[in-house]
Structure 1
Amino acid sequence: MRRYVTRGTVSLLAAVLGPLALCAVLLPFRDGLANTDVALLLVVVVVAVAALGRRLAGAVAAVSAAVWFGFFFTPPYERFTISKSSDLTTAVLLLAVGLAVSQLAAHARRMRVIAITDADYLARIHDTAVLARSTNSAIAVVDQVREQLIDLLRLRNCRFEYGSLIGHPPRLEHDGSVVVGRRPWDADRLGFPEQDVELRMFGNGKYIGRFMLEPTPGAVPSRQARLVAVTLADQAGAVLDSLQHPANTA
């Protein structure tokens, strides 16, 4: 968390001070530079901030670039006013382009994270499938899935209860939703409830057991992660059922 806050703070500082620093560097050459050239250089700063920071940082950098452009490079100088319509148009375009670029950079970064995450999810499912084909030990499969669930859902702990349905704890459903009693729980916003959550395991349609998930306070696993968790439990259930009833695999 400390690293995240630090990076966010640094990116916001860069968003505010980066355009100002560039304007200070260019100020001695103001008479020989076209305002459009200055605006393009400021867009480069906005792109850099948006690529390294979050969407908010990119937006702040766009606003900062437009403000300092108007202050230093449009007459009357060193005042927050713009007298020429052409300079006003350039400042507005600088702001619009900067905001658009910051959105595109944030979207590209999000797509990259999703691609990496998807690859990780597929690897987990693949690893469990490989183990399921290569072992005759139900314990090995259950232990691997249990460890996968801890990492995938950022749990404090996870245990497996074979054939037990004691009590009515919150439940992670097969569509990735969470219910507490009979009421839906907003897991996308709140994460898991502050108590153990059950993930039931079935084999060939029959209940076999359940993983009891011990959530980490503050962690909010995505719906995609929860769906992968359900898939892993289904894989383990199929393996346990096949080992209990070998004829089913013939």
Structure 2
Amino acid sequence: MLAIGLVVPPAVCALLALLRDSFDNANAALVLAVVIVGVAAFGQRSAGVLAAVSSAVWFDFFLTVPYNRFTIDSRDDIETTILLVVIGVAVSEIAIWGRRQQARASRHRGYLDGVITTSQAVATGGSTQDLIDHVRAELTVVLGIDGVKFVAGNNRTSAPQLNPDGTVTRGSHILKVERDGLPTNAEIELPVQHAGRIRGRFLLTAATHIARPDLDQRRVAVALADQVAAALTTQPH
């Protein structure tokens, strides 16, 4: 994409130069703006900015008086050149934001699919161990952590806790997961509870890298654990 952002604008400007007697600079700038938008739409900031700068430079060279020189005599052409750069930067940022939102929506659909699949497994009355193994795999992906293990029983420890509201606490202190990540020096407990009764807990490990699941991801993790709790309440181990 960087090569496209660098090469396409001068090629377009050279073609427009052949029509400059019948094609004013305002229309030429609009054509270049379309080129910049096309490059920036791929969501790569550097390519969009490069296309904007390249468009401005070659707009100056081919389409402003004096022609074929990197000099601009007209105030209007100076303003148009500056606008090309501004448009390029702005469109690049908008394109990047849009692609991030699209990626986020896609991830959330994936998380929802995981919860639905788990609910279906509970409804069909399959093996509880198979359900636990399935949820362990889902938790690893959703939270972006190294591993998960399940421990039965209602014992609580002083380990960090992933709570039903999605917060993570160590004792009475709420951890800033989005900023600092999940603890890497201890397992995080995700209680498996139903109707106020703890049936077990998932122990979450994020030891080799910093995982920063957002609040929605952590709430999905809680929902998955609740599915296991419901299964343990109605099915034998």
Aligned letter for 1:94?
L
Match of 1:84 in 2: 74
- SS of the residue corresponding to residue 166 of structure 2 reads coil
Q: CA–CA distance in 2 between the matches of 1:205 and 1:64?
A: 63
1:42 aligns with 2:53: no
- Go from structure 1 to structure 2 and tell me whether the alpha carbon gap of 1:182 and 1:36 turns closer, same or farther (over 3 Å shift): same
Q: Is the 8 A contact 1:58 1:102 kept in 2?
A: yes
Unaligned runs of 5+ residues in structure 1 are 1-10, 245-250
Q: 1:226 aligns with which of 195, 198, 218?
A: 218
What secondary structure is seen at the aligned counterpart in 2 of 1:93?
helix
Secondary structure of 2:146 counterpart: strand
> Residue 208 of structure 1 aligns to a residue in which SS?
strand
**Structure 2 residue 113 is matched with structure 1 residue 132:** no
SS of the counterpart of 1:105?
Answer: helix
Change (3 A) 1:13 1:186: farther
C-alpha separation in 2, matches of 1:219 and 1:21: 45
CA contact (8 A) 2:45 2:92 kept: yes
Give the conservation status (yes or no) of the 8 Å contact 1:204–1:241. Answer: no
Q: Cα distance 1:18–1:218, how it changes in 2: closer, same or farther (>3 A)?
A: farther
1:239 aligns with 2:237: no
> Which segment is superposed worse, 13-22 or 170-179?
13-22
1:199 counterpart letter in structure 2:
L
Q: Who is 1:74 aligned against?
A: 64
2:102 is matched with which residue: 109, 112, 131? Answer: 112
Trace 1:184-203 onto structure 2 (pairs within 5 A): 184-195=174-185, 196-203=187-194
Quick one: which of 121, 142, 148 aligns to 1:152? Answer: 142
Q: CA deviation at 1:54?
A: 2.9
Structure 1 156/14 Cα, relative in aligned 2: closer, same or farther at 3 Å? same
Q: 1:190 to 1:81 in 2, by over 3 A?
A: farther
Change (3 A) 1:77 1:114: same
Quick one: structure 1 residues 15 and 145, their matched pair in 2 at CA, closer, same or farther if it must change by over 3 Å?
Answer: same
Deviation at 1:133, TM superposition (A): 0.7
Q: Which amino acid aligns with 2:200?
A: G
Residue of 211, 216, 224 corresponding to 2:202:
211
Size of the aligned set, in residue pairs, is: 234
Q: Identity rate of aligned residues, in percent?
A: 39
Between the aligned partners of 2:209 and 2:41, the Cα distance in structure 1 is 31
Contact 1:189 1:220 in 2 (8 A): yes
CA contact (8 A) 2:149 2:203 kept: yes
Give 1:207's aligned amino acid: I
Say whether the 8 Å CA contact 1:162–1:210 is kept in structure 2: yes
Once the two structures are TM-superposed, the CA of residue 151 in structure 1 deviates from its matched residue by 1.8
Greater per-residue helix proportion: 1
- Counterpart CA distance in 1 for 2:48 and 2:219 is 33
1:65 aligns with 2:55: yes
- In structure 2, relative to structure 1, the CA distance for the partners of 1:14 and 1:224 (3 Å cut) is farther
Q: Find out whether 1:121 has 2:111 as its counterpart.
A: yes
The TM-score normalised by the length of structure 1 is 0.78
| Deviates most, 207-216 or 98-107 | 98-107
| Aligned mates of 1:30, 1:150 — CA distance in 2 | 60
CA distance in structure 2 between the aligned counterparts of 1:64 and 1:182, rounded to whole angstroms = 55
RMSD: 2.8
**Per-residue deviation, residues 162-202 of structure 1 (Å, max 9, x unmatched):** 11546422222222222234323221133222132211111
In the alignment, the residues of structure 2 paired with residue 172 and residue 12 of structure 1 have an alpha-carbon distance, to the nearest angstrom, of 43
Preserved CA contact (<8 Å) 1:75 1:83? yes
